[in-house]
Amino acid sequence: MRVTIFGVSGLLGKALMQEWSGDIVTGLTSRAADIRDARRVEAVVQETRPEWIVLAAAYTDVDGCESNPDLAFAVNRDGAANVATAAKMAGARLLFLSSDYVFAGNKTTPYETCDARNPQSAYGRTKAEAEIKLLELMPDCCIVRTSWLFGTGGKCFPDTILKLAASRPAIDVVNDQRGCPTYAVDLARAITQLCRKSANGIVHVTNAGDCTWFEFAQEIVRGAALSTTVRPVSSQQMARPAPRPAYSVLSPAGLQALGIEMPPWRDALRRYLEQRQSR
């Protein structure tokens, strides 16, 4: 199988390139192929002749999207449409990475793939509108919603917590936002399986289990054997430019129906900490 991956300089893109084996995989950075440039996207798709395209390229700075929505929509919605158009012309399948931020966060039970989109932030709107556009352009595409991505080789929540904990006796972390941490390595492996199973439609892919950011931080500090105290605070106390969903746990039912199981997030965190230490 020939696979072309857009966005290999990010956490997920790096993991995809490291984990994907047994197929012919071409990885493209945003410098090599800016998805806002429709002609360039079409050219690289024609050159690489993929059977599957994985679109991991995105503008993921949630607060940055809030202050620069034009750029966010140009990349996350219009760029995604450029890739889908090129995929359709080339007869390739498409897997697109989306987000838990397409939901409002006002549920108290896991979000199903069929639940209504109701994004509260600019980033969430870009992903929600991209989903709608892609399903119009390519009804057989696969949309993978994920959340709270972490991994080695880039900025992520565990990396930030470990750096803060190394220099402070105590850190404050919000305890009123609940979601599912997702290890880039596990997500990459699931994406490989989804492509090989010719999956379509919307699938939720996160590590098993859920927690608050505070609980996640506690586990990170404990796993790294640090003595830093983690203190719970409210989102109001740690105000950010973009609103975050209070509850964005994603149901794994669709993924499990395809015979794919994700490891628990605590197990994923342990492996992340081991990998980070070995680096």
| Catalytic center residues | 123
CB 39 within 8 A of CB 47: no
Find the helix packing angle between 265-278 and 213-223, rounded to 10°.
Answer: 50
CB 211 within 8 A of CB 268: no
- DSSP β-ladder status, 211-212 and 178-179: antiparallel
> How many angstroms separate the CA atoms of 92 and 114, rounded?
25
> How many angstroms separate the CA atoms of 135 and 143, rounded?
9
As given in the structure block, the two tokens for residue 278 are 């070995």
As given in the structure block, the two tokens for residue 181 are 């941490």
